[in-house]
Amino acid sequence: MGAQWIHGPSKQNAVFQLASQYHLLDEAAMSEENQAVQLNTHLPAVSICYTSSGKRVDPEISASMEELYSVLILKSREFFQSKAEPVQSLGEFLKREIARCAEEWKDDEEVCNLKLALLNVEFKIECCVAGTDSLDLLALQPFGEYVILPGIDCTFPSGFNSLIDEMMKSLPKDIVSFNKPVKYIHWNGSFKTPEAPEHSYSVLVECENGEIIPADHVIVTVPLGFLKENYETFFRPPLPPSKINSIQKVGFGTNNKIFLEFEEPFWEPECDLIKLVWEDESPLNNRSPDLQKTWFRKILGFIILKPAERYGHVLLAVLAGQEANFMEQLPDSEVKDCLTQVIHQFTGNPLIPPPKNILRSKWHSDRFTKGSYSYTEVGSSGDDIDIIAQPLPSKSAKEQPLQVLFAGEATHRTFYSTTHGALESGQREADRLRDHYWLHISRNPKL
């Protein structure tokens, strides 16, 4: 329902390192060649584009638009190094460049419109990768600070959970509590317990079931979406204004998945991705506000899960933003019928049987996530990510240091929105605590 690929599986990727250590990846993913490839996309290689009038797009035209988009994205990433950006958002910049390029196209109107429709699919893909509703929300200047690691994205043959299973094996039994939501984090206190009356704890974690856990330090890894909704009540005393400001500024959106399982495949075996090209769409036009009638248009296409021996015949539709939020409210039957119609329309084949099963994520309705992952929204920058990551109380304060630490993808300045970012941020905070105690011990050798 969530993370599926290791993005950029290579030596600098902490998830890849762990997965390799545990021998969880297949030969292709482990090969040096795979690790060396530098791509600028997170999507599978072989794609076929179908149009809303049931035709297949000439692969030469679709490849040329993919290439144009990739050049423009590289150009967008360069503003990170420069002092001034021409416009605020990635969307505005791309649209300006596309309009400029379109003026030079010598094709007839139909082909020009098709090219714009193809570029619109790239916008939808980018929205999913970033977890945002619109590229107009993505800040242009910090866009290039997100680091795309080398390596062709790979999956875990036994699922992403195999990594968690291995990590759990190295921990003492029963040390991890599940299904125990935290209600409040009390900090800056001096809490005593009957078991250790001589020790004062700075932090108390209060769970929804009434359980209270005293601690010297707590590392908070709740999603930014949860923080945005709950920062006022979750921390007692409240967070400092600078942290609240950054929590509000950094973006957090929805990326949802819809899995459709078919009895038989209707796609070609070599195809990895079916892109859906709505011929009347263009990145230069505004999209319709009527979500009931148009939510499914935000789906970029269908990723084909491979190998079939492992997954069965399964297509994965992905969509982001307010359309993804809207989809969560609909019943399974409506989503299934709607996507069956879309498949009939785009393949031009009304005889394809409907999927036998549907499974989908609802990341926005989940009160513990309220979305999928973070992005640098217009008005925010990497500095805000660093501010969210700063431990409390701040260094200048006289109180017991490192009471509340922050980790999770939204606290990683260059790898936000990924599992390797989340993992590295946890290691960063563990190192912070380790260093704190090393310093303490080295200053007090008797300890």
Ligand X SMILES: Cc1cc2nc3c(=O)[nH]c(=O)nc-3n(C[C@H](O)[C@H](O)[C@H](O)COP(=O)(O)OP(=O)(O)OC[C@H]3O[C@@H](n4cnc5c(N)ncnc54)[C@H](O)[C@@H]3O)c2cc1C
Q: Give the binding site for ligand X (CB under 6 A).
A: 2-5, 7, 181-182, 221-223, 226, 255, 257, 361, 363, 368-369, 372-373, 408-409, 417-420, 422
Nearer to ligand X, 95 or 360 (CB): 360
Cβ-contact 131, 371 below 8 angstroms: yes
Query: What is the bridge-based pairing of β-strands 404-406 and 218-220?
Result: parallel
CB of 100 to ligand X, least distance (A): 33
Q: What is the DSSP letter of 238?
A: P
What is the full DSSP assignment across 365-376? T-TTTSSSEEE-
CB of 115 to ligand X, least distance (A): 29
Nearer to ligand X, 325 or 419 (CB): 419
Nearer to ligand X, 15 or 114 (CB): 15
Contacts of 243 (CB under 8 A, 6+ apart): 387, 388, 390, 392
Cβ-in-10-Å burial (0-12, 13-18, 19+) of 8 comes to buried
H/E stretch holding 297 reads none
Structure tokens at 341: 């119609």
Phi, psi of 151 (to 5 degrees): 115, 140
Calpha distance 392→233 (Å, rounded): 16
CB of 421 to ligand X, least distance (A): 6
CB of 20 to ligand X, least distance (A): 15
Q: C-alpha distances in angstroms, 340 versus 48, 101, 322, 333, 350?
A: 18, 36, 21, 10, 9
CB of 433 to ligand X, least distance (A): 17
Structure tokens at 415: 């790898």
Closest residue (Cβ) to ligand X?
408
CB of 119 to ligand X, least distance (A): 24
Nearer to ligand X, 30 or 352 (CB): 30
Nearer to ligand X, 282 or 417 (CB): 417
Q: What is the DSSP letter of 411?
A: G
Calpha distance 190→177 (Å, rounded): 25
Nearer to ligand X, 62 or 325 (CB): 325
Cβ-in-10-Å burial (0-12, 13-18, 19+) of 141 comes to buried
From the centroid of its chain, how far is CA 362?
14
CB of 152 to ligand X, least distance (A): 13
Cβ-contact 249, 377 below 8 angstroms: yes
Nearer to ligand X, 201 or 252 (CB): 252
Phi, psi of 278 (to 5 degrees): -80, 115
Nearer to ligand X, 141 or 418 (CB): 418
CB of 81 to ligand X, least distance (A): 25
CB of 131 to ligand X, least distance (A): 7
Nearer to ligand X, 151 or 408 (CB): 408
